[in-house]
Every structure is written in C-alpha cells, then in structure tokens.
Amino acid sequence: MKPTNDMSCFLAHAIVLEDEAAEQYDELADTMAMHRNRPVEELFRRMAGFSRLHRDEAIELARLHAGALPDLKPWEFEWVGDESPESAAGDQAHYLMTAHHALQLALAAERRAEQFYAHIAASSDRPDICAQAAEFAAEEAEHAEILVRWLARTPQPVRGWAADPDPPNVVE
C-alpha cells in the first residue's frame, strides 16, 4: 500500500503533513509573538488554520470515499524525503529568528508540500488520487505565493541575528 496506489494511504499522508504544518505554523507564530511582530504572527496563525482546514478536508474525504484510514507506523510513510514535507524545517525554528527567516522556513515547507503532492499526482496511475493530489498541490502553491508576497515586503535581517547576549530561559 502506497500513497500512489491507495486513496486512504494518500489521505493518511495528507493528514499527517497538514497536521505537522499547522504545528510548525503555531511555533513560528509563537516566535513572532515573542518578537511582538503582530502582522507576521497573525499571518502564521491564519496559515495554521489553512493547514487544519486542509487536514479536516482530508479526514472528511477519507470518511466519504476511502473507508477507514490505515494505521500507518511512522516508518511506513513514504515521503519524498525522510521527514514529512511540511515539518522538515521545524527543528530550525529559533526564538531569535527574524520574521524574514520565519517566512523563509514557512515558504520552504510549503514548497516541499507542493512537491510531495505534485510527485504523487505525476506518478500515480489512479485518476482519483492524481486529481486529489493535483488539487492539494495547487493549494500549496497558493500558500507559497502568499508567503512570497510577504517576504517581498519583509526586510532581510542584519548579520548576527542569532547572537543573543542575554538569552531568556526557553523551555523546549
């Protein structure tokens, strides 16, 4: 069973991907809240909401069309890379990260998600999976576009942004 030949397996991947994306956006939003950057914090909360809507849509599609979701173990997922596409950048989040960096991380995650869905759409010979994956890929491309526009008007950080002489106690 692979995401390219089984709809429920494909949707299980989409659910994990979107759930992890939402969590990453929550973390990035919290980081921007620490920076008191309300506009970018609100952008990330909104993007987290998109990911959860997407996840819920995949859950609903699974319920309607694919029967029960497979109970996949983490190692049974087949991503294009090792980690699920939208979460791969999560470890790079840093409390000193500027809005520019945060937007770049988010953009990279959206692009990986788009690539994952586009890869499924291009390599599956199941028309229903291809169509669904292509639709999800198009939505990820729209998310990426939003971030590209924000990046265009968010200034580049100065060098040395990660050097904090007085780090707060951050509980991970």
> Interface with Zn ion by CB under 5 A: which residues?
110, 140, 143
By C-beta, is 41 or 140 nearer to Zn ion?
Answer: 140
Q: Please report the beta strands in the chain, taking only residues with DSSP state E, as ranges in sequence order.
A: none
Report, in Å, the least distance between residue 96 CB and Zn ion: 25
Report, in Å, the least distance between residue 86 CB and Zn ion: 7
Closest CA to 150 of 102, 90, 97: 102
Sole residue written with tokens 């988010």: 106
By C-beta, is 57 or 110 nearer to Zn ion?
Answer: 110
CA angle centred on 50, ends 140 and 162, rounded to 5°? 80
CA angle centred on 103, ends 31 and 116, rounded to 5°? 115
Report, in Å, the least distance between residue 169 CB and Zn ion: 32
Which tokens go with 48? 């987290």
Give residue number: closest CB to Zn ion: 143
By C-beta, is 20 or 140 nearer to Zn ion?
Answer: 140
By C-beta, is 49 or 67 nearer to Zn ion?
Answer: 49
Please tell me whether residue 125 adopts helix, strand or coil conformation: coil
Distance of CA 160 to the CA centre of its chain: 27
